[in-house]
Structure 1
Amino acid sequence: MSEKLNAQCHCGAVAFTVELTDGFNTIRRCSCSFCRMRGAIAVSAPLAGIKVVRGQDKLTEYRFHTKTARHFFCSVCGIYTFHQRRSNPEQYGVNVACIENVSPFDFPVVEVTDGVNHPNDGASNGVIGYLTFQPKKA
């Protein structure tokens, strides 16, 4: 595994360490209804790659549709921290914005995967587009 990175929610009530599956090479957004509203960029980590070091009791869980994916949020500030994936229950998706010294704007191009037509429903499993960030020139 890779190095341990420190991460936390906005208010700091929930803190965790994360070891990513393949560095930041797995960044992506999803097009499902929940991810569209949440707007986070996620990166992959194995289940053993996350250790909550503070605030386990402050994490709240949300499940929808098939109730398979487990989305975790800080109950104090409301920030999405990570989720156990429906597409691969052996992985977490981690909110890159929670990782110390990382911003979603650090990634100029992010793949968007087809979460509306979920692979576990026998549908697409592919990339349907790209989100780009181009800083304004001074």
Structure 2
Amino acid sequence: MLYKGSCHCGNVKFEAEGNIEGLVACNCSICQRKGALMWFIPRTSLKLLTPEEDQATYVFNKHVIKHRFCPKCGIHTYGEGTDPKGNAMAAVNARVLEDIELEAFPVQHYDGRKL
């Protein structure tokens, strides 16, 4: 299925393709504050509809995840990193996807504080 997503002001827009089977809520220092519900997909399944330079990036701790957000409205849209096998992945913030009911998906809680 193809999903459309964007930040609040529309400066950052993208499409994500795949089936949402579940979402992840993480309690690490940044995710706890953002309140994002993440949907993990291969990075190749995420297509930017606005130029990458229209986004801002935040990295912290081990600098292995690029947290992408809109520099105008501040909304976190997705993150980029690699899975344990080295595959490029995107963690899409499901809260910015159009026309979905978040309550329809199971949420797995991840203890990111232990990292």
TM-score by length of 2: 0.87
Q: How many residues align?
A: 113
Contact 2:80/2:90 (<8 A) preserved = yes
Which of 39, 44, 49 is the equivalent residue of 1:48? Answer: 44
Q: 1:64 to 1:73 in 2, by over 3 A?
A: same
- The residue aligned with 1:38 is 34
Shift of 1:102: 2.2
Gapped regions of structure 2 (runs ≥ 5): none
SS in 2 for 1:54: coil
RMSD: 1.8
Residues 16 and 73 (structure 1), Cα distance of their counterparts in 2 relative to 1, 3 Å cut? same
Q: Superposed, which structure 2 residues align to 1:56-67 within 5 Å? A: 56-67=52-63
User: 1:110 maps to what in 2?
Assistant: 107
The reply to whether residue 100 of structure 1 matches residue 86 of structure 2 is no
Unaligned runs of 5+ in 1: 119-138
The structure, 1 or 2, with the larger RCO (C-alpha pairs under 8 Å, 6+ apart) is 2
TM-score normalised by structure 1 residue count: 0.73
Larger Rg: 1
| Stretches (4+) displaced over 3 A | 85-89
CA distance 1:33–1:107, shift in 2 (3 Å): farther
